[in-house]
Amino acid sequence: MNEILSVKNTTIKEIKKLHKKKYRVESQQYLLEGFHLIEEAVKYNNVLTQVLVTQRGYQQWGAWLEAKAIADVSLVSDEVMKSISDLPTPQGILAVVAMAEAVITDWQGAWLLLDNVQDPGNVGTMVRTADAAGLSGIILGEGTADIYSTKTLRSMQGSHFHLPVVSMNLKDAISVFKEQTIPVYGTELNEFAVSYQDVSASQNFALIMGNEGQGVEKELLDLTDKNLYIPIKGHAESLNVGIAAGILMFHLTV
C-alpha cells in the first residue's frame, strides 16, 4: 500500500483540486468523505478511483477495503487528511469517485425540477427528501448548485446514488413532460396560485422549486399546468425552499 506523508505530494495536490467545480467537470470525478457515504457508493456500483485512509481509518475499514478489492488505496498522515478535508474533524477516509452519468429512460413517475437553486445545502436536502418521498428523479436546471460539492454531498447523504440526478434545460424537460401528459406544477410565493391542498396526490407529476430569493422564473411558470403555493398562517414571510419542497413532495406523492 502506497504511503503519503506530505501535503505537498503531487497526488494530494491533484486531489485537492477536486474542491473546485472546474476540475470536477474536467476529470469527471469528485471527493466523497466518510465511510458511510463511501460504502453507499460501492453498494450502488460506483467506481472509486482512489481511496485515502489514515492509520486509524485503516484499522477500522482496512478489512472492508480489502474485501471490496478497492485497488488504489493510500495510507495518509492525519495532517494530509486534514489538508484535504473540509470538516473540522476529518473522518479518516476519503475517496475519489468517478461521476456516473444518469440517464432518464422512463419519464413516467414523480420528478423534482430545480430552477436556479443556489445554496448547496438546500439542493442536497431536496435531493435527500425527494429520495425519501419516493420520487423518480431530480432535474437540475441551469444555475442550480453543483451536486458534487462537499457541502451538497453531505446534505444529500448518498441519495444521488439512489435516484437519477440529471442536468437539463428546464424548458426542454417541461416539453417532454407535456408530451407524456404528466402534469407540471410550478411554485409561487403568492396567493394567486393554487393552494397545494387543493391538488391531489398522484403517481405522475413534475414539481418545480425555484431560486431562494426570486422563486421560479416567470417564463417557466407560464409553461406549467398549475402553479402551487403553501398558505402561510403566521407572520413569517416565506418558507425555506427545502422545507417547502418537503411539504409539497410528501403531499403530492401517493
β-bridge pairing 29-33 and 93-98: antiparallel
- If one asks whether residue 88 binds its own copies (CB under 8 A), the answer comes out as no
Q: How far apart are CA 52 and CA 94, in angstroms?
A: 5
Element of type H or E holding 132: helix 120-132
Q: How far apart are CA 102 and CA 160, in angstroms?
A: 10
Choose between 202 and 250: whose C-beta lies nearer to its own copies.
250
Candidate segments 7-15, 84-92, 120-128, 214-222, binder of its own copies by CB under 8 A: 120-128
Looking at 133, 176, 194, 221, which residue binds its own copies (CB under 8 A)? 133
Candidate segments 62-70, 84-92, 100-108, 125-133, binder of its own copies by CB under 8 A: 125-133
Q: Which residues 141-160 are close enough to bind its own copies by CB under 8 A?
A: 155, 157, 159
Element of type H or E holding 32: strand 29-33
Q: How far, in Å, are 20, 29, 61, 166, 247 from residue 41 at the CA level? A: 21, 13, 15, 17, 28
Q: How far, in Å, are 5, 107, 149, 235 from residue 84 at the CA level? A: 13, 39, 13, 43
Please, are residues 178 and 184 in contact by the beta-carbon 8 Å criterion? yes
Q: How far is the CB of 8 from its own copies (least distance, A)?
A: 29
Q: Which residues 158-187 are close enough to bind its own copies by CB under 8 A?
A: 159, 162-163
Q: What is the DSSP letter of 84?
A: H
Looking at 132, 189, 194, 221, which residue binds its own copies (CB under 8 A)? 132
Choose between 11 and 240: whose C-beta lies nearer to its own copies.
240
What x-and-dash track marks residues 205-244 binding its own copies by CB under 8 A? -------------------------x-xxxxxxxxx-xxx
Q: How far is the CB of 189 from its own copies (least distance, A)?
A: 11
Determine the distance from the C-alpha atom of residue 68 to the mean position of all C-alpha atoms in its chain, rounded to a whole number.
25
Which residue carries 474542491 as its cell? Answer: 19
Which residue carries 429512460 as its cell? Answer: 105
Q: How many residues bind its own copies (CB under 8 A)?
A: 32
Residue 72 cell numbers, joined: 488504489
Q: How far is the CB of 25 from its own copies (least distance, A)?
A: 24
Looking at 3, 5, 25, 134, which residue binds its own copies (CB under 8 A)? 134
Looking at 109, 210, 215, 246, which residue binds its own copies (CB under 8 A)? 246
Binding residues for its own copies, rule: CB under 8 A, are 121, 125, 128-135, 155, 157, 159, 162-163, 230, 232-240, 242-244, 246-247, 250, 253
